[in-house]
Structure 1
Amino acid sequence: MKNNDITHSYVTKVMVILPGLITAFIVAVISKIAAIWLPTLGAATIAILLGIVLGNTFLKNPVLQKGTKVAESLLLEFSVVLLGATVTFQTIAQIGLKGGIFVILQMGLTIVATYMLGKKMLFSDNMSLLMAGGNAVCGSSAVASIAPSIHAKEEEKGQIITLVNLLGTILMLLLPIIASIIYGTDILTKSALIGGTLQSVGQVVASASMVNSQVVELSMLFKIMRIMLLVVVVYLFGKFKQKKSVLTTIDETLPQKKKAALPWYIVGFVLFCILNSLVHLPEELSQTAHFFSGWFEITALAAIGLRLDFQKFFKEGKRFLIYGLSVGFIQVILAIGLIRLLSI
């Protein structure tokens, strides 16, 4: 009888999750198909935008909440882990020392400027840090990775992921034009601007594809190095938030919950990356990891869109929009300035 109770409880939990999980997957499939005709947007961007539209109209239903929450958190975490199997340390060397310095300075300055601007505009520490990390590193994956280490709320994470993706969509369409106007036919500088600035991998590929295949290849190298530094950003953000929490805590007698230095999926990402660098995993395995990582990410983004209550978002819509556009402007100016300074 006891085993029957356990089985019944398990089945009940699965049945509660399934509607939202299946819905998120269907939205992801539709987005993948739509991306065939809208390659400039890409499946990831379509997924979150379609999710937002449906989640605030036809699919605004509490029944979907449990499943979309699982899709949003767990699938995005698995996506981060599998991403490590597609990256190697050897690949990074191709962009050169100047390229590496550019990425580090671009990321560091973006983080500092975005955080300071967020605080100036009266956003919380968590939202300012999520915005800084999301734009500096790799969009949604970075936000998902940073959120647990700084104890960010689900609502904060969802709002920032939306803002980061909306900003990324705007920059994705503008950067090829800006790059062509400023750099003409110079492949490396175009690649540095696109790969060093855009938020998600999908946006980098889509934007670079508007130029040519060479820019796609090189811009992805700049992007990969940013992804490699995700583990450093998560660790530093966690330590920064921890220090601020200690300084602002009045009652030191409260029990402190000890957490691991890094979330499990960041550790998984690094281990896969090291393994792929030392052993060089078979191409079939890397492609399989890339395939599942992509599907997990798109399904998770669809779930995030479905879960986002636009009414709440629009309460601070103007402030959010100003913040996002300002960060995008800062990123582009920083990238152009650093490319010139370093003579890339």
Structure 2
Amino acid sequence: MKKVLQNLPGFGLSLAIAIISYLIAKWWLPMLGGATVALFIGIILGNTCLKQPVLAAGTQFSEKKLLEYSVFLLGATITFQSIQQIGWNGVLFTAIQMSCTIGFAIWFGKRLQFSEGTYLLMAGGNAVCGSSAIGAIAPVVEADNEETGIAITMVNLMGTVLMLILPVIGTLLWHGNDQLRGILIGGTVQSVGQVVASATMVNQSTVVTATLFKILRIICLVFVVSTFGYLHQKQQTKASDVKLSQQLLAKKSSLVPWYVLGFLAFCILNSLRFLPNGFGDFCHFLSTWCETTALAAIGLRLNLKKLFSQGKQLMAYAGGIVGVQVVLAIILITVLF
């Protein structure tokens, strides 16, 4: 009970910001979505009038646990049958696009001397599904709050930029070809909400294609988290003494965290039609609110001074990743479709 009371002020504030953000997005900024609005409101308030220590425990709980719950619930909203509709060319496109995005993000991050946590979170967030991927990856690579906050902020910012410009780029390149425009958006834009919002600016046919390609990227989350967890433990083992190496090896059972296993289990059950009607919609509703509340908490905890201290370098890093994603997607679409 004492822990619940400690978490209540920060959690309550995060939830309140999430509700306000939902209403703002619904009435005035539908293209941005509630999660992005919540992040930016949280950043503004957390760096001005809401810095009280009493909020720290609740915002930390909301940031860590609610993102995990969001990933877990997301599994009930997708099925493996989506891969059949995409076809082998679509699978190949997604595999190359994600692998190259991750590889470039890690290489570029190392060249710019960012921490391991930062470049792995940026790699996963851009390649897979934005905030949800970052929330899933952060615990297995032992990223701290600052690294998580910076990655989520930059990935959401770049996702918003892509959300607005890709419909224009796709139309200029392929005119009325809804499939190719949908592949560009679904294979590149970061979060699910941003994909749907971006594709909606074109038409409903584009939304369907973009969503299918986004779903395939989300399914790959399990493999990305496992791989990043392995890379992190390997790196730690190299840099540690024998005793610490033994401790890390003893932790290998937690290489894939519970929420990723739960995500996979829900995917399987949903693909086999074992889940009741309406359950997926209910999980989507809960997952969206968990993510929105978590992003509000992350915004409240993000220190803008530290973010701005890396400003030019961080923007160059984020912009470089997004630039490579878009150019690579255009090349792959031209070659494969």
Structure 2-normalised TM-score? 0.96
Per-residue CA deviation, residues 299-323 of structure 1 (Å, 9 max, x unaligned), is: 1111111111111111111111111
1:76 is aligned with what amino acid?
L
Find the partner of 1:105 among 96, 101, 123. Answer: 96
Report whether the alignment pairs 1:301 with 2:291: no
- In structure 2, what is the Cα distance between the partners aligned to 1:86 and 1:160? 25
- In structure 2, what is the Cα distance between the partners aligned to 1:142 and 1:217? 22
Please identify the structure whose Cα radius of gyration is greater. Answer: 1
Find the partner of 2:280 among 286, 292, 297. Answer: 286
* Aligned counterpart, 2:236: 245
Find the partner of 1:332 among 326, 329, 335. Answer: 326
Gaps of 5+ in 2: none
- In structure 2, what is the Cα distance between the partners aligned to 1:261 and 1:272? 19
* Aligned counterpart, 2:140: 149
Q: Aligned runs of 1:29-44 on 2, under 5 Å?
A: 29-36=19-26, 37-44=28-35
- In structure 2, what is the Cα distance between the partners aligned to 1:253 and 1:245? 12
1:340 is aligned with what amino acid?
T
Per-residue CA deviation, residues 215-243 of structure 1 (Å, 9 max, x unaligned), is: 11110100000000000001111111222
* Aligned counterpart, 1:171: 162
State the identity %.
52
* Aligned counterpart, 2:84: 93
* Aligned counterpart, 1:234: 225
Per-residue CA deviation, residues 56-98 of structure 1 (Å, 9 max, x unaligned), is: 1122222211101111111111111110001111122111111
Shifted more, 68-77 versus 150-159: the winner is 150-159
Q: Secondary structure of the equivalent of 1:89? A: coil
- In structure 2, what is the Cα distance between the partners aligned to 1:114 and 1:323? 8
Q: Aligned runs of 1:1-344 on 2, under 5 Å?
A: 10=1, 12-36=2-26, 37-249=28-240, 251-254=241-244, 255-257=246-248, 258-259=250-251, 260-342=254-336, 344=337
Q: Secondary structure of the equivalent of 1:57? A: coil
CA shift for structure 1 position 147: 1.2
- In structure 2, what is the Cα distance between the partners aligned to 1:201 and 1:279? 23
1:301 is aligned with what amino acid?
L
Q: Secondary structure of the equivalent of 1:199? A: coil
2:297 is aligned with what amino acid?
A
Q: Secondary structure of the equivalent of 2:243? A: coil
- In structure 2, what is the Cα distance between the partners aligned to 1:283 and 1:321? 44
Q: Secondary structure of the equivalent of 2:284? A: helix
Per-residue CA deviation, residues 234-255 of structure 1 (Å, 9 max, x unaligned), is: 1111111222222222x21335
1:155 is aligned with what amino acid?
E
- In structure 1, what is the Cα distance between the partners aligned to 2:210 and 2:86? 9
Q: How many residues are matched?
A: 332
2:11 is aligned with what amino acid?
L
CA shift for structure 1 position 280: 4.6
Q: Relative to structure 1, is the Cα distance of residues 279 and 46 closer, same or farther in structure 2, using a 3 angstrom cutoff? A: same
The CA RMSD over aligned residues, in Å, is 1.1
* Aligned counterpart, 1:7: none
- In structure 1, what is the Cα distance between the partners aligned to 2:261 and 2:242? 30
1:190 is aligned with what amino acid?
R
1:308 is aligned with what amino acid?
L
